[in-house]
Amino acid sequence: MRKMRTLTLSAGGLALATGAALLVPGLGGFAADHLDPPARTDPSVDATPDRAADIADLFAWHDDNNVNLVLTFAGPQATDQPATYDRDVLYTINVSNASPRTTAELPIEVRFGPGNTDGSYGVQISGVPGVTGAIAGPVETDLMQDGVMARAGLFDDPFFFDLQGFKDTAATGELMFDSTRDFFAGQNLTAVVISIPKDRIANGDNPVDVWATTARFGGQL
């Protein structure tokens, strides 16, 4: 599964989520990636969907000081359900700041695993620019290392979408979206949030491409 965003780290820009990320004209970014590929992640197709490896969204934006990356997965789900951590899934946030733009100069890898004798989970994030070694620690905790902040855990789903309006529009051919109707409201998912000093990613005026993939032992999804 793969999601992609393109940023320009120059002054000014359009808000992608919050902050000031600028989409490069003509390249744009893909929308929600839930249940993709359906044969592996959609419960209507597979009775045992691979929720842990199912990317929901990738958000990327910058402010004056930091580039902020948010990878969400395993959602949406009811708020009474726990976060999803799977030690057999590798999450990679790929960052390219040079040509060719399909090659990641800065691949950031995220893994989960039981970190304590009580079985509670921890997270390990490696490949973060400017960080010596890996950022590692318990989930649901702000982890600070070498000027980088990272957190993994359960979050309110930040994506907004009128699913009923989409279905009605597809069925009738007329736009029937309602800005007050959010299918993802009141639902959770699991996410990894990383905030990196901007000067560690910026490379002159080069656009920065950001995409995410998941891979499970036995082959990439």
If 0-12 CB within 10 Å is exposed, 13-18 middle and 19+ buried, where does residue 67 land? buried
Whether this model's pTM surpasses 0.85: no
Q: Which residue has the higher pLDDT, 17 or 153?
A: 153
Residue 154 has pLDDT above 70, yes or no: yes
Give pLDDT tens digits for 86-140: 999 999 999 999 999 989 999 999 999 987 667 789 999 999 999 999 999 999 9
H/E element holding 167? helix 163-172
Q: What is the pLDDT of residue 183?
A: 85
Q: What is the pLDDT of residue 104?
A: 95
Sign of CA dihedral 93, 141, 136, 203: positive
Give pLDDT tens digits for 5-44: 566 665 433 233 322 233 333 333 333 566 566 556 666 6
